[in-house]
Amino acid sequence: MLVKKTEIAYCVYFDKGFLLKALAMHASLIRFDPEAKLWILALDEYTEKILKKLKLKGVTVVPLSEFEDKELLTVKDTRSMVEYYWTCSPSWPLYILKRNPRLKYITYLDGDLYFFSLAFEGASEIGTGSLLAVEHRFPKGQEVLARRNGRFNLAFNVFKNDKEGIECLERWRKQCLDWCYWKPEKGKMGDQGYLDEWPGRYKKLVISKNIGLDVAPWNVSQYRVSRSGDNILINNKRLICYHFHQFQILGRKAFNRVLGYTLSKNVVEYIYKPYEIEIEKQYEKIMTVDSKFEINFPVQTTKQVIKQNLAKYFGPLYWRLITVLHG
């Protein structure tokens, strides 16, 4: 069964801190698919206000106050802000599917993804399945990292509006309500560790084989990155989306690309520099509706600065050491 492009919608959640990245993601999404539909959960009032002023093409904005239910509010004060956002992960696509019974598929996206080709090319891989998940794809010799971070990366996941798709979301929601913290514990890690049980539980799970989907700092080093015309290639496969994990916006045209990973010249030239240009475009777009918008990069302690510099310059050595110690 072929999946039709019009049957798939996308969803994302973010607050002011991720606003520039998520706007860049939206711009890249509609660049390749002008008719794409994106549902956005605005996690704070400022984000909701800016999004409504921007009137983005194909976007439906839902305020946090409209989304939150009794169960989420019950655990809200027991989690840090980030942990609460993670707790919301399964509830958000479930919210959309239950309120839109005619919608066949919803694709959950992280706000720091950026598309270099058509998103549908990745989402349609679900085929006759009910779920699509993407593995971390750690490089050979670093597979041990899945013990802490999980086999799968929660960044691009497709759910079908059928029995198994809803069953998965409901179970995952309950799991996150029960436990969702920023620490590894008995195979759990935030909202992401729960995905490890999916292959043994869901018969209609599709595990992506497209290496161009959810390429990220932790796996890009194993690929040959090149350019052919307008296409960025991962080995010889078209790059669909890159996950800008740890990408920090320090100010106007000022960035920390990544901490703890080594990026090749081609990765910087073909992937990071276009993203940085897009971030600046989105900055200018926000300024048209809020001339006082600023990036409030938090003031860091001396300890935090030292830690970041250590991660920047010695991070690759650290990951090799962890791999050896736990291999």
* Mean pLDDT of the region 309-321: 49
pLDDT digits (tens, 9 = 90+) for 55-105: 999 999 999 999 999 999 999 999 999 999 999 999 999 999 999 999 999
Among the CATH numbers 3.90.550.10, 2.40.70.10, 1.10.3720.10, 2.40.50.140, which is that of 5-299? 3.90.550.10
In this prediction, residue 318 carries a pLDDT of 46
Choose the weakest-confidence range: 46-55, 198-207, 228-237, 246-255.
246-255
In this prediction, residue 61 carries a pLDDT of 98
- Domains of the chain, by residue range, sit at 5-299
pLDDT digits (tens, 9 = 90+) for 23-69: 999 999 999 999 999 999 999 999 999 999 999 999 999 999 999 99
- Residue pair 107/126 in contact (Cβ under 8 Å)? The answer is no
* Mean pLDDT of the region 109-132: 98
What count of Cα atoms within 13 Å lies in the side-chain half-sphere of residue 306?
3
Element housing 226 (H / E)? strand 225-228
Beta strand 205-207 with 131-135 is: parallel
- Residue pair 106/161 in contact (Cβ under 8 Å)? The answer is yes
Residue in the block written with tokens 């600065």? 305
CA dist 66 and 42 (Å) reads: 10
Please list, residue by residue across 10-47, b when 16 or more beta carbons sit within 10 angstroms of its beta carbon and e when fewer do.
bbbbbbbbbbbbbbbbbbbbbeebeebbbbbbbbbeeb
The neighbouring-strand residues paired with 13 are 41
Choose the weakest-confidence range: 127-136, 250-259, 291-300.
291-300
In this prediction, residue 324 carries a pLDDT of 45
Beta strand 241-243 with 237-238 is: unpaired
Q: Identify the band that residue 325 occupies on the pLDDT scale cut at 50, 70 and 90.
A: very low
The neighbouring-strand residues paired with 215 are 242
CA dist 327 and 323 (Å) reads: 5
pLDDT digits (tens, 9 = 90+) for 160-186: 999 999 999 999 999 999 999 988 777
Long-range CB pairs of 135-141 (<8 Å, 24+ gap) are 135/207, 135/208, 136/216, 136/218, 136/219, 137/211, 137/219, 137/222, 138/218, 138/219, 139/219, 139/221, 139/222, 140/222, 141/323, 141/327
CA dist 11 and 99 (Å) reads: 14
Provide the terminal-to-terminal Cα distance of the chain, rounded to the nearest Å.
41
Q: Identify the band that residue 301 occupies on the pLDDT scale cut at 50, 70 and 90.
A: low
In this prediction, residue 183 carries a pLDDT of 86
